[in-house]
Amino acid sequence: MRDALDAVVDQLGGLDPRLAALALLLHVSNHLLRSLAWRNVLASAFPAHRLRLLPVASAYATGVALNAVAPARGGDAAKVALARAAIPDSNVATIAATLSVLVLFDLVVATLLVFVVAAAGLVPLSLPSASWWPLAVAALAVAGVAAWLLARRARSLWSRLRQGGAILRTPARYLRQVALVQSGAWACRVGVVVCLLAGFGLPASVPTAAVVMILCGASTLVPLTPGGAGTQQVMVALALSQTASAAAVVSFSVAMQAGVTLVNALLGLAGAMAAFGTLRPLTALRAARAAASA
């Protein structure tokens, strides 16, 4: 066990700082692009208000940071609460519906990634290729359940939910201001994984990065541990064991999860300080947690 831990530490020390810096830049860009997409959805839902990017980005960053520690994705509640505070005469149902517009695109992209990787056999995985088809079916099932839940809620809150998805009624605007922006965010996310794979000397390609993203996302579907810690490392190590040593894969996975969590925490703290108009980090943190539990 000690030898294995020493191997992991050695791998962590060998990370290329230039690639780490590029991964950091791409990760921050992902945050900004997703915030911009959400701002555009909100602007369509509340056309009478002129929305600035900073309050929306602050709400988004705060929510992402809290999702790593708050139960039942409490960070999403913080996003809604902070966005509602920034938009006069807004309501929880409509703002929550605007987040659903973003999630819808993410579900489509994630499902397509699963099918493309599974069907093309682009990555030499230790898992048999046939086992990817149940994963693809599971992804479709998740999308179906999400659509059913949304439709069920829509029966009682239809007008407000319809307002939140107003941008979907103008396809050209949706494609330009949301789908294209979110596509850029996904490209940044893939770029982060590619940079870290290369930084640890692992085979770095877009298909491999897609596999890692799929597995990392799957590890958080059932939150057995905060942020899927442990579960994520096991899944990635098993899947990529044919391409690199277990120490290298685990080091990569640990460093990626720890680095992303740390950056998200710093961005979230900065966002909370901006949202609550304070230079005191502890005051901003308490206020953000209160918003998440409200």
One-letter amino acid at 39 equals R
Tell me the C-alpha distance between 111 and 207, whole Å: 14
Work out the mean pLDDT of the chain and round it to a whole number. 77
Q: Biggest alpha carbon distance in the chain?
A: 62
Average pLDDT over residues 43-47: 92
If pLDDT is split at 50, 70 and 90, which confidence band does 33 have? very high
Flag the least confident range among 195-199, 207-211, 275-279.
207-211
> What is the per-residue pLDDT for 56?
94
The whole-model pTM stands at 0.79
Residue 218 CB partners (closer than 8 Å, separation 6+): 135, 235
